[in-house]
Amino acid sequence: MAEQTKKNPNDKYWDEELETMPRNKIEENQLKDLKEMIQFAYDNSPYYKRSFDAAGVKPGDLQTLADIQKFPFINKKTQRDTQGVGSFLGELCAVPEEDVVFISTSSGSTGVPTVSPFTKKDFDEFQDTESRWFWQAGMRPKDRYVHALNFSLYVGGPDVIGAQNLGALCIWGGTLPSERLLFVLKQYQPTIIWTSPSYAWQLGEKALKAGIDPKKDLNIKKIIVAGELGGSIAATRKAIEDLWGAEVYDFYGLSDIFGACAAHCEYHDGLHIAENHILVETVDPNTGDILPPGSTGELVFTTLRKHARPLIRFRTGDIGRIDQTPCKCGRTHGRIYIQGRKDDMFIVSAVNVFPSDIEAVVRDIKELTGEYLIRIFNKDFTCKYSVEVEKKAGVTLSDEEVAVLTSNALKGRIGVKPSNVVVHQDGGLNTRSEHKSSRVIDEREQK
């Protein structure tokens, strides 16, 4: 049986040697693992054998990290097309089914759900990485932790094992109805919770309505959020922090890799990514051309150590950038900044607009509740957007004044004005939900 960690709670790092490794050493290890992984994928996955042969590349062609550019991309469609072909786990898989101990699936929100398999070693390394993020967010064995994420098929479910391995007292909350979750928070006085940013906000508001002040009656000191961008939008983070009197840590995961692949440190400036597991490239989202390090583009991940289903040059569909300069916290693994999903981006008057940009503006205006709804539509063959917001109860400005204020703020921050701003009264928008909120309505006939 694995022993509970004997780490000193005063230790700053979960794995100091790994987390503070000089960059040349990180890259040396990446190259070693990448060489092995490319060879392993070529020898064991029918898909990679075929695609490398078709592209005229051999594992031996990889001599430097930059040589990864010689190899072909894969994407979500590759996963879907190869799933179930040849075997239950499909042609991307590189181990026999008896070596697989766990599968999660994607939400299927953009098509057929894809299956992500783990060997025992893949799964153990996944959980060690999760322990590392929890420790980085300040979790220690004395903490009581509520894992309020879905356990059904979702890769974020088992992350609770990472917290348990760290030694925290774990409460497997799952998707409890909010009344029961509030009971848990009040009765057991946990110190840390993980949920989505929109649900953290809704839950805080529900607590207040039920006569519970999250700041006084509950003991939550830290809120981990993932699944939506809110945790990295300063205004949204601050709104949740003010509501709960707690510090918000943003985590970023991919069902294809780990529940969390990257996470905030105490400086909340970008999310440290596990560069010992993932090689990051940034490419032009349209052409696939490699962009210089630090540029904003589509993030492409190559998994360095996952054997069940290696991902070589996987186009994530996420737009962002990586900063590989050392962080103030002393950690040397690069930090990623996610701007949004490629599919969510729309272009107005030649400006790339992400719903997250609009959220940042709306959450920053003190006359508004922070709820919003975006409509994207075509008018006169041009893409336009409009925004619906809620005026806070008690604000004395007229609806028209609030609309002008909002419109100007959007123009100032994003560069293009909305066609229209509709102002509702407090509670007038139907965007508060228990799960991921849909705040974007795309009325264009074709994207």
Interacting residues toward Zn ion by CB under 5 A: 265, 327, 329, 331
Query: In angstroms, what is the minimal distance from the CB of 132 to Zn ion?
Result: 12
Nearer to Zn ion, 105 or 324 (CB): 324
Cα distance between residue 128 and residue 139, in whole Å:
14
Burial 296-308 (b: 16+ CB within 10 A, else e): ebbbbbbbbbbbb
Q: Which is nearer to Zn ion, 331 or 363 (CB)?
A: 331
Least distance between Zn ion and beta carbon 270 (Å): 8
**Residue for token digits 């042609």?**
91
Q: At what angle do helices 234-244 and 197-209 cross, to 10 degrees?
A: 30
In terms of CB distance, is 14 or 346 closer to Zn ion?
14
Q: CB-wise, 329 or 361, nearer to Zn ion?
A: 329
Q: CB 267 → Zn ion: shortest distance, Å?
A: 5
Q: How far is CA 362 from the centre of its chain?
A: 21
394: left (phi over 0), alpha (psi -120 to 50) or beta: left
Q: State the Cα–Cα distance between residues 346 and 141, nearest whole angstrom.
A: 45
Identify which of residues 89 and 329 has a Cβ nearer to Zn ion in the complex.
329
Query: Smallest distance from the beta carbon of 320 to Zn ion, in angstroms?
Result: 17
How is residue 227 annotated by DSSP? S
Question: CB of 334: closest distance to Zn ion in angstroms?
Answer: 10
The closest of 203, 222, 231 to 360, measured between CA atoms, is 231
Q: Give rounded-to-5 percent helix, strand, coil for the chain.
A: 35, 25, 45
Query: Among residues 223 and 265, whose Cβ is nearest to Zn ion?
Result: 265
Structure tokens at 402: 């609030």
CB of 327 or CB of 405, closer to Zn ion:
327
Closest distance of CB 93 from Zn ion, Å: 35
How wide is the angle at C-alpha 318 spanned by C-alphas 315 and 320, nearest 5°?
115
Output the smallest distance, CB 265 to Zn ion, in A: 3
